[in-house]
Amino acid sequence: MDGCRMNCELLATCSALGYLEGDVYHREPDCLESVKDLIRYLRHEDETRDVRQQLGAAQILQSDLLPILVQYPQDKVLFDAVVRLMVNLTQPALLCFGKVPADATSRHHFLQVLSYLQAYKEAFASEKVFGVLSEKLYDLLQLDWEQRQEEDTLLIERILLLVRNVLHVPPDPTEEQRVDGDATVHDRVLWALHISGMDDLLKFLASAQMEQQWALHVLEIISLMFRDQSPEDLAVLGQGQAGAEHGEDTRELQSLRQRELAEKRTRALQRPYRHSRFCGSYVLQGLKAIGDRDVVFHKGLHNLKSYSHDLGKEPRRVPRRRQAAPEAEVPHRSARNVRLFLHRFCRDFLEGCYNRLMLLVKEHLVREKAQQHDETYYLWACAFFMAFNRRRGFRPELVSETVGVRAFHFIEQNLTAYYEMALMDKKEAVTWARRMHLALRAYQELLRTVQEMDRSPEPAVRDSSQVIKSNIFYLMEYRELFLTLFRKFDETKQPRSFLRDLVETAHLFLRMLERFCRGRSSLVVQSKRVRRKKQPRAPAAPQPPSTEELQELWAGLAPQLQACLQGEVPLPEDVVPFDAASETPVEEQRAEALLRIQGCLRDARVPQALRLLRSARDVWPEGDVFGPPNAGPPEETRLLQDIFFALLPRESVALGMGGLRFGDAAAPQHCPIAEHAPPEAEEPEEEEEAEEEEEETVQVSEKEFNFHDYLKRFACAPVVRALVLLLRGYPRNTARTNHCAARLLHRLARDLHMEPLLFQLSLFALFNRLLHDPAAGAHQELVALAKFILGKFFALAATNKKAFVELLFWKSPAAAREMSEGYGSLREGEGAGRSRAPPWTPQEEQLLRELYWKYKEVEGSDVAGAILAQLPAPGRTRRHLVKHLVRLGLIGSARELPRQRKGTRIVLWTQEQEEELTRLFEEFRGSDDVLGRILQHLTARRSRARVVDKLLALGLVATRAELYKKRRRKGQDPAPVPGAPAALGQDSSEDGDSEEEEEDEEEDEEPMEGPEEGAGPGLAQRLHQEGLAGPLRWLQSCLRRTAEDREEDGASHPAPLVPLSEENEDAMENRRFQGLLRRLGLRPPESEQETFWRIPAALTPRLLRRAAASITHRGPDPSGSPQGLPEPPQCPRDPDPASPQPPDSESEEPDPSPPQPHTKRERDLDSEDEASGSSGPAVPPEDEELQPLGRRKRIRRVEEEEEED
């Protein structure tokens, strides 16, 4: 509906409400329907709130709705509809827009709606309106709960929401520029609320047993009533202290008068005795101008002190992100009659409602029955009413519900949560800072209440305060709270009032803690220490036994093993290799079983080892890892011998079967497990240590508390900076605020003897302004502190000439001590100097340069390690060495000297090693795995990539393809097929080129839009061996069923994979199974709202059937012919199923070793080998067109690269 038509309909609807004649409102017959139409229009308004703005501009609420409400309260249906409409019209602007808009257009609409709300609030400042609402609310509350209908309950809630909305409207600062004591719009609304008796109804709702559901509504209304009010001012009101209030105003006026008179006297003294038409010109010697000459001053000498180079310059604009946070509430003193009414309300509320209402609200918050952030009203009520009770004749029984250890814990938990959210949610940091301020005020009032309890004449109250203090001083969280808030204070997010309350609360806490410790000889407190343990860096394993020791031990175990195999020794029956209820994956439990068998053998427990082997064979029959099912005594003896001599590192338990390493020289080479040894875990580089995953453990202990040591933790730059920032506004601060800040600085300077900690230029500029202030007499404590600090500084400057330079920097305790005791004093074995590296002397730097240029030219050497071994000075680390090389400019960054990986330290080949490599190549040249055999028999351990490079450099091989592991199908002769390129072996000891591995990982992370050709069969066979045959059959049926459904419907929609059995659910969490799903083109859950994997709509029925066929289990054919192999993917442009296809090498018996990552080049060679390396019938040349176009391009590209090499 366009804007013009909408305006016309609104105008017609508003005209059908009625008209006002004098003080009498005449409603139209369609008044009720018009009100409902307006409600409907508001429900369908756009994001600019156009309907709300048009109704506000027409003043419908002032001219129609309020007169209808006042004159027709007996019409229940009309009254209910009008109240419902007014609740909608008066809802806060933040609820309408969600937040304060950032763009100019939306912000204009926001301010427009806010101006209409302020006009509504002024219209509600009427005794008649609140009188009608109070009478209606009173009649509804008179009904018993069995007589009260649902409509009555809704009307009660709407009346309370209407009162809340009216009180929530903020004041207009441009219109309400009144002095203290004048009545504002908010005061007039409060007075109308009081005259109508609404305040008594609110107290009844807060105390009635049957009205518990309105507890949060009532607390929210009360918090809005006392907005901008000070509990201390309200508490002293009505107790005959009007003269004291008047005297405080008088003292403030006298202070301003003294400041004005002092400024007049200063100006009079600066006035010259005789008139000068040109005021004279002077040269300021020693003060340079822009050039090399001295400054020429063209004004009178009385203006010389105010001279600055910044005169006449435009002040630099402070960016918005660096501006100080504005104050949330500006204090205002209401009219006296309003304050008297609020004083009586607070008194009655404390005596009859406070404890009960706070108990109900706390229960709602704990049980999460409240809305989000409703705990802020609870925190405000704690701070406000406890302060009122403290200043008005302290009575602890009136606030007993919110005084105790539980109250401290609740407030501390919320304060910590707000603090963490302010650090994480940067966009809403200001809002979280306001909530944090409310919690801090509540915490402060709790401390002040406990302090007042110490002064109580009743022993029971004093004992209770001692119990509370012993609990909060014992726990570490309460002691660390203020240090954390000081260190993370940000003036751009947190207002100055937050810093004021933080300083006052910290001062109060320190004073209470000091007095609590003073009366005791010792105080034991709780201490928590977080220990971080880096996961990748495993502890040093014990040295494994030598080969001779293992052979000697095996010779001793042989007779006992033969006796167990012949049945002479009974085997135990309580050995279980598998725990079905454990959360450990199956692969890891299989690795643990191998380690347990080896441990039993090396501990001479042969019966347990044999029983464990046979039990593990029954649990994991696939792959013959624990032997074939019908293994006899010779096979079991050989298998136990392989396990006994195998090298099984303990860290392999966390890696599963893929982390087991069998490569010891004593292990027989025919062991089926020993052929697939992955490389050793690489040593993490030092630059990556900060990114390693850490495990945190909290250790709780007790220690004796020392207040002096605790106070030292406040001696840091963030605390001093915050105190200086607060003292910059000392003329506007209260006397208590200045006292707390000065006392904290005095503790740091005098009690801790750390005066240099306060030697800072910004603080000295503040002292200079204070000492020249005409009204400095009112701040004697600050003046005394300034004189003390300045005297200490000039005394130190007489001996330390660098003290003036130190003024430019914030200092730590170590720097402050060095400044007073001498630089370098902490490097002699105490303080922070113990963790510092020894300084570099000129001779050591010269030696470092020589060693760097010496080892830099050595090919493949570890430059940093070689230099570190040659340095004479102890205590150097690799990190310190690399940093100093960067500082000297010898290297650009630490990445130029990475830590060498484990296993690749030997780079240079000696002549003997080259001859050994040539001999091994000639020896194993005809084997299936030439490179693997060479790596097993090399004396010096080398990486796979280094050996390949050396073979190419020696000319023993022409291309890398000659070193690939040759594949053969079952039933065929193990000899390689002549002339056919060998398939790439997935040897787990291959390191590969790091750049190609990174490129390969990036390619694997790309989403699959369809089934990856040739990728499913090999992985499916491995999953079959791992016992996932059932989930694979379920996946195959899902794919085929989806293909049939899409053919029948003629449309494609994403279909979820819903596992209904526990076996299928476990398979969906298996990483390899998920890898198979990705290769088949299936899509994982994209967001939190999706739970299951989905079959994308882009997969056609043909692609789905091809994917289902690729995961079919193909067992070995007894005749040796490759029957039942999955059909390779056909060209979608020219399908020819009758043409013979080359068998897919991935369908053969898979290698039991875990799959290793392949590079792009290796995968291209695999594709080439699979296409041409079959031993079946020759493929006609025209069949080459059946391969996908992308695969042919990759093969051609690889062939061109090989020719270039």
Q: How far is the C-alpha of 998 from the C-alpha of 992, rounded, in Å?
A: 10
Q: Sign of dihedral through CA atoms 616, 620, 623, 624?
A: positive
Which pLDDT does position 239 carry in this prediction?
Answer: 62
Q: How far is the C-alpha of 31 from the C-alpha of 38, rounded, in Å?
A: 11
Query: For 676-686, what is each residue's pLDDT tens digit?
Result: 333 333 333 33
| Residues linked to residue 697 through DSSP beta bridges, in sequence order | 531
Q: How far is the C-alpha of 362 from the C-alpha of 379, rounded, in Å?
A: 10
Backbone phi, then psi, for 1094, in 5-degree steps? -130, 145
Query: For 955-990, what is each residue's pLDDT tens digit?
Result: 888 887 788 776 554 444 444 433 333 333 333 333
Question: Whole-prediction pTM value?
Answer: 0.61
Which pLDDT does position 198 carry in this prediction?
Answer: 93
Write down the number of H helices and E strands in the chain.
48, 8
Structure tokens at 230: 């000070």
* Residue appearing with tokens 């402060």: 444
Query: Strands 282-288 and 694-704, how do they pair?
Result: unpaired
| Residues linked to residue 1123 through DSSP beta bridges, in sequence order | none
Amino acid identity of 651? Answer: E
Q: Is 280 helix (H, G, I), strand (E, B) or coil?
A: coil
Which pLDDT does position 672 carry in this prediction?
Answer: 40
* Residue appearing with tokens 């501006």: 323
Structure tokens at 405: 């250890």
Query: For 496-537, what is each residue's pLDDT tens digit?
Result: 999 999 999 999 999 999 999 987 777 888 887 766 555 555
Amino acid identity of 303? Answer: N
Alpha helices in 1007-1159 (DSSP H): 1016-1025, 1029-1049, 1062-1068, 1071-1079, 1101-1110
Burial 335-361 (b: 16+ CB within 10 A, else e): beebbebbbebbbebbeebbbbbbebb
* Residue appearing with tokens 């690489």: 682
Query: Strands 1093-1095 and 1055-1057, how do they pair?
Result: antiparallel
Do residues 606 and 561 make contact, with C-beta atoms less than 8 angstroms apart? yes
What is the biggest distance separating any 2 CA atoms in the chain, rounded to whole angstroms?
129
Q: C-alpha distances in angstroms, 1047 versus 774, 1041, 1057?
A: 94, 10, 19
Structure tokens at 1121: 């012919």
Query: For 986-1018, what is each residue's pLDDT tens digit?
Result: 333 334 343 344 334 333 433 344 444 444 567
Query: For 560-593, what is each residue's pLDDT tens digit?
Result: 888 888 777 788 877 777 676 666 776 677 778 8
Helix (H) or strand (E) holding 1094: strand 1093-1095
Amino acid identity of 657? Answer: M
Measured at the CA of 413, the angle between CA 407 and CA 419, to 5 degrees, comes to 135
DSSP secondary structure, 132-195, as one string: HHHHHHHHHHHS-TTT--HHHHHHHHHHHHHHHHHHHSPP-TTT----TTS--HHHHHHHHHHH
Query: For 463-500, what is each residue's pLDDT tens digit?
Result: 999 999 999 999 989 999 999 999 999 999 999 999 99
Which pLDDT does position 993 carry in this prediction?
Answer: 40
The total of other beta-carbon atoms located within 10 Å of residue 775's CB is 17
Judge residue 21's burial from the number of C-beta atoms within 10 Å of its C-beta, 0-12 exposed, 13-18 middle, 19 or more buried: exposed
Structure tokens at 984: 């790439």
Residue 865's nearest CA partner among 946, 943, 857, 876 is 876
Backbone phi, then psi, for 940, in 5-degree steps? -90, 125
Backbone phi, then psi, for 1021, in 5-degree steps? -65, -40
| Residues linked to residue 301 through DSSP beta bridges, in sequence order | none
* Residue appearing with tokens 């001479």: 604
Do residues 1197 and 1189 make contact, with C-beta atoms less than 8 angstroms apart? no
Do residues 439 and 381 make contact, with C-beta atoms less than 8 angstroms apart? no
CB proximity list for 1080: less than 8 A, separation 6 or greater: 1008, 1011, 1012, 1016, 1039, 1107, 1110, 1111
Q: How far is the C-alpha of 494 from the C-alpha of 195, rounded, in Å?
A: 39
Query: For 1070-1093, what is each residue's pLDDT tens digit?
Result: 888 888 888 888 888 876 567 788
Mean pLDDT by 10 residues, the chain (1205 residues): 60 89 88 93 89 91 92 92 94 90 90 93 92 93 88 93 94 72 85 93 91 92 91 79 59 74 71 56 80 79 71 80 80 84 93 93 89 92 94 91 93 93 89 93 95 92 92 90 92 92 96 88 77 53 69 80 80 74 71 82 82 81 76 82 73 37 35 38 39 60 88 93 94 92 94 92 93 84 94 93 92 89 62 58 86 78 81 76 85 79 55 85 83 82 81 82 66 40 36 40 40 58 81 87 83 80 82 83 74 83 85 54 37 39 38 40 39 38 38 45 47
Backbone phi, then psi, for 528, in 5-degree steps? -120, 135
Do residues 440 and 505 make contact, with C-beta atoms less than 8 angstroms apart? yes
Q: Is 531 helix (H, G, I), strand (E, B) or coil?
A: strand
Q: How far is the C-alpha of 628 from the C-alpha of 625, rounded, in Å?
A: 8
CB proximity list for 1064: less than 8 A, separation 6 or greater: 1030, 1031, 1034
Q: How far is the C-alpha of 418 from the C-alpha of 409, rounded, in Å?
A: 14
Structure tokens at 88: 């909608």
| 150-168 and 76-89 helices, crossing angle to 10° | 40
Q: How far is the C-alpha of 169 from the C-alpha of 538, rounded, in Å?
A: 62
Q: C-alpha distances in angstroms, 98 versus 20, 120, 375?
A: 36, 21, 20
Do residues 165 and 181 make contact, with C-beta atoms less than 8 angstroms apart? no
Q: How many residues does the chain have?
A: 1205
Give the dihedral of Cα atoms 704, 710, 712, 716; nearest 10 deg. Answer: 140
Q: How far is the C-alpha of 565 from the C-alpha of 571, rounded, in Å?
A: 10
